[in-house]
Structure 1
Amino acid sequence: MLNLLHRHVFKEIFVAITLAMGLFVFVLLTGNAIRDIVGLVAAGKLEAVTFFKLIGLLIPYVAVYALPLGMLTGTLIAIGRLSSQREITAMKSAGLSLYQIASPVFFIAFLGMVLSIVVNLHFAPTAKVASRAMLTEAITANPVDFIEEKRFINEFPGLVFYMGEKDGQTMKDFWIWVLDEDKQVKEFLRAASGELDFDRESNELVLRVFDATVELRDSKNVEDFSGGEAMRTAFFEETDFALPLDDVFGERKTKRLKMKYMTFAQLMKMRDATFAKEAEIGEKGISEDRMKVQVQLQKNCAMAFSTFSLALFGIPLAIQVGRKETYANLAIALVIAMSYYFLMIAVTWFEDVPAIRPDLLIWLPNVLFQSLGIFLIYRAGRH
């Protein structure tokens, strides 16, 4: 009888969690695709094959959040349905404890936690780096196609482009506006023609313009058109512009990989390097550089353990709320998840203060949710 009930609960939990994870993967995948990829596809800058490859590479990246969210939502839906239909009450009347009833949830949550560890520490950062490399390669394979005819191009922060027409690899009637921090024009260039190439060493698109007229405005008052020192003009037969590709993707150009895109092995190597640097200069305690690495390491692990923590917290909550409506459980799950991730983000604010050990405080949300979950399960088991 016990095995039969366990199979019943396992089936309910597994189906609900799988569907919930699929939903969150789809939602997060769509959001990332719209932000980074769809615009390029719609503009004809990416082929369909490349688009689907990039979507596939984004799945491990969004799974970092989809796994814990799906686990929590699925637990709330399945346990909430069983509770609302009095099935849990019937099982307890048959002599089963709440721990026995919820054991399939613990098992699935543990497997989900193990999967999250592998994804967070290796597959997610690897896939993100690979997707960025593929996106860069797609753009640089034919950089001229990145600029469309008779359309204002504003993907580069601080710059706006316009091209009248294109003849093969040559762009004609080319306009460039250079903007200041207030989005006001501080420089303007118009060229008879131009060419676009890619510099792999610096990861930059190189724009070369010919027969160009440049208008320079006073940086203190860009709206002053009185002439003289307020507005100067110059003519160039040929000049180059460097356009960092990192700007297209919303990041500043860096020579090294960001920590959030590093695998566990890369972070450990970087941590060892900070150890060596501390020993070399004789620094006592934990340096800010090492603390940042340790915070990222612990954050990746804590995010993986959140899969188990949120599921554990969701069991007694689902029994207490006892809602069978999917939308209600989804809303509850989002509120809980937002609270959890807010605590995670709040801890990272102190990563520049090694004295309070933010690398250990990053585990506070897990400890809090697991402790509260265990207490609520114990109380629900007694009543």
Structure 2
Amino acid sequence: MAFVIFTLVLVTGNLVKLADLLVNKGVPPWDILRLFGLLIPSLLSHTVPMAILTGTLLAFGRLSNDQEITAMQASGVSIWHLAAPVAAVGLIVSLGLVLVNDHLVPNSRFATRRVLEEIGIRNPAAYLEPGVFVKEFKPYVLFVYQMEGNHLAKVRIYEPMEGRPTRTILAERGEFIPMPDTKQVQFRLFQGTSDEPDPRNPARFYKLEFASYTMTLSLATGRDPSNLRKKPKDMTPGELRREIQELTAQGIDPTPLATEQHRRPATAAAALAFMLVGMPLAIRTRRAERSIGYALSLALILLYYLLSLGTQSLAVEGLVPPGPALWLPNVLLLGAGLLLLQRAGHR
């Protein structure tokens, strides 16, 4: 149940983006289904540890609330004997997640990028995104501050020209019409200005105000999804190692790649750390209610991932070695779990 809830929460934001591609940008349903399927591996690496933690808190909270833990300890079963199978399950899950993070996730991420590239080639409107400089419509560069459906607000279109000033088109609002058959997008802009060349001196522009302005942009030619270059998060462990070796041989600092290399097993180990801290925490709280279990889970998850993001940033910037930085949250969580287990054993 916890796994389903966390998966639904994480997938919601992506579903909104997929719905936008389907409804507003004319992307075929089959491509949407492909993208949704490729999301699953990335979600697993986060939702499985979250669900493991919640399940541990609920299960041992119920046992503690019913005095089952006390009864077992009274009959000679130590807290460490109870923790052994929990640790074994956590270790197995973590090892499984290592395979997911090292192979399934990078392959699915790269496949997603290729599908998006294919979609963009067939339907250029899919490239439009607010707050991003869009450079796919050569020679133009587009920037849209706000975008809702096919409606745009505060549109900027730049046309860089060699040896001449950059032509700029500004509009308060606009809309776009996808033209996938011709690999074009038609823009209708309203209430703006356009730089137009002076007929007597093309190197100079004059401002032309317009109430409405229509222009059709075409996708740049020569794009091929098969030539897409892998990013660090798309690489398998072997590819990461080779890239690190090549950069090192060239005298280039490979810290960002080394950070990615350590991030994957460290993230997978969260399942073991969550189980070992969740068990004694549930015993100490002695509460069986699901609301308590979910609240504790969310608090621990938030703390863990905030710490992970912080240490990862330090590693990428080269302030801390990637290994110690990426594994620090797990070490702290495991240390807290062992300390709580020791205290629970002396009750």
Give the TM-score category using the shorter length.
0.7 to 0.9
Q: Which residue in 2 is equivalent to 1:9?
A: none
Structure 1 unaligned segments of length 5 or more: list them.
Answer: 1-18, 148-152, 161-175, 199-204, 219-227, 247-253, 279-286
Q: Which residue in 2 is equivalent to 1:216?
A: 194
Aligned 1:179-328 pairs, distance under 5 A: 186-188=168-170, 215-216=193-194, 231-232=207-208, 242=219, 256-278=229-251, 289-328=253-292
Q: Which residue in 1 is equivalent to 2:151?
A: none
Q: Which residue in 1 is equivalent to 2:137?
A: none
Amino acid corresponding to residue 98 of structure 1 in structure 2: I
Partner SS, residue 194 of structure 2: strand
Amino acid corresponding to residue 248 of structure 2 in structure 1: F
Taking the aligned partners of 2:96 and 2:321, their CA distance within structure 1 comes to 27
Amino acid corresponding to residue 194 of structure 2 in structure 1: L
Over 3 Å counting, the alpha-carbon distance change for 1:41 and 1:116 in structure 2 is same
Q: Which residue in 2 is equivalent to 1:163?
A: none
1:298 and 1:360 in contact (8 A); partners too: no
Deviation track 1:125-152 (CA, whole Å, cap 9, x = no partner) reads 21122123223323433x27869xxxxx
1:45 and 1:139 in contact (8 A); partners too: no
Over 3 Å counting, the alpha-carbon distance change for 1:374 and 1:46 in structure 2 is same
Residue 69 (str. 1) matches residue 50 (str. 2): yes
1:197 and 1:207 in contact (8 A); partners too: no
Q: Which residue in 1 is equivalent to 2:92?
A: 111
Match of 1:135 among 101, 110, 116: 116
Taking the aligned partners of 1:115 and 1:65, their CA distance within structure 2 comes to 13
Cα offset, 1:96, TM superposition: 0.8
Structure 2 unaligned segments of length 5 or more: list them.
Answer: 133-141, 145-153, 159-166, 197-203
Q: Which residue in 1 is equivalent to 2:135?
A: none
Taking the aligned partners of 1:114 and 1:99, their CA distance within structure 2 comes to 22
Deviation track 1:178-220 (CA, whole Å, cap 9, x = no partner) reads 269xxxx951599xx997678xxxxxx66699xxxx95359xx
Taking the aligned partners of 2:120 and 2:258, their CA distance within structure 1 comes to 35
Taking the aligned partners of 1:207 and 1:137, their CA distance within structure 2 comes to 16
Q: Which residue in 2 is equivalent to 1:178?
A: 156
Over 3 Å counting, the alpha-carbon distance change for 1:358 and 1:194 in structure 2 is closer
Match of 1:33 among 3, 9, 15: 15
Taking the aligned partners of 1:348 and 1:334, their CA distance within structure 2 comes to 21
2:22 and 2:29 in contact (8 A); partners too: yes
Over 3 Å counting, the alpha-carbon distance change for 1:76 and 1:293 in structure 2 is same
Give TM-score, length-normalised by structure 1.
Answer: 0.67
CA RMSD of aligned residues (A): 3.8
1:91 and 1:101 in contact (8 A); partners too: no
**With CA pairs under 8 Å and 6+ residues apart, which has the higher RCO, 1 or 2?**
2
1:125 and 1:261 in contact (8 A); partners too: yes
Taking the aligned partners of 1:30 and 1:55, their CA distance within structure 2 comes to 11
2:109 and 2:233 in contact (8 A); partners too: no
Cα offset, 1:360, TM superposition: 2.1
Residue 374 (str. 1) matches residue 338 (str. 2): yes
Taking the aligned partners of 1:376 and 1:194, their CA distance within structure 2 comes to 59
Cα offset, 1:154, TM superposition: 5.9
Over 3 Å counting, the alpha-carbon distance change for 1:52 and 1:323 in structure 2 is farther
Taking the aligned partners of 2:301 and 2:318, their CA distance within structure 1 comes to 27
Q: Which residue in 1 is equivalent to 2:162?
A: none
Amino acid corresponding to residue 326 of structure 2 in structure 1: I
Q: Which residue in 2 is equivalent to 1:99?
A: 80
* Count of residues in correspondence between the two structures: 300
Amino acid corresponding to residue 156 of structure 2 in structure 1: V
Amino acid corresponding to residue 28 of structure 1 in structure 2: L
Over 3 Å counting, the alpha-carbon distance change for 1:239 and 1:326 in structure 2 is closer
Taking the aligned partners of 1:376 and 1:145, their CA distance within structure 2 comes to 54
Taking the aligned partners of 2:9 and 2:216, their CA distance within structure 1 comes to 45
Taking the aligned partners of 2:94 and 2:12, their CA distance within structure 1 comes to 24
Amino acid corresponding to residue 24 of structure 1 in structure 2: F
Cα offset, 1:37, TM superposition: 0.9
Taking the aligned partners of 2:267 and 2:129, their CA distance within structure 1 comes to 35
Taking the aligned partners of 1:295 and 1:307, their CA distance within structure 2 comes to 20
1:46 and 1:139 in contact (8 A); partners too: no
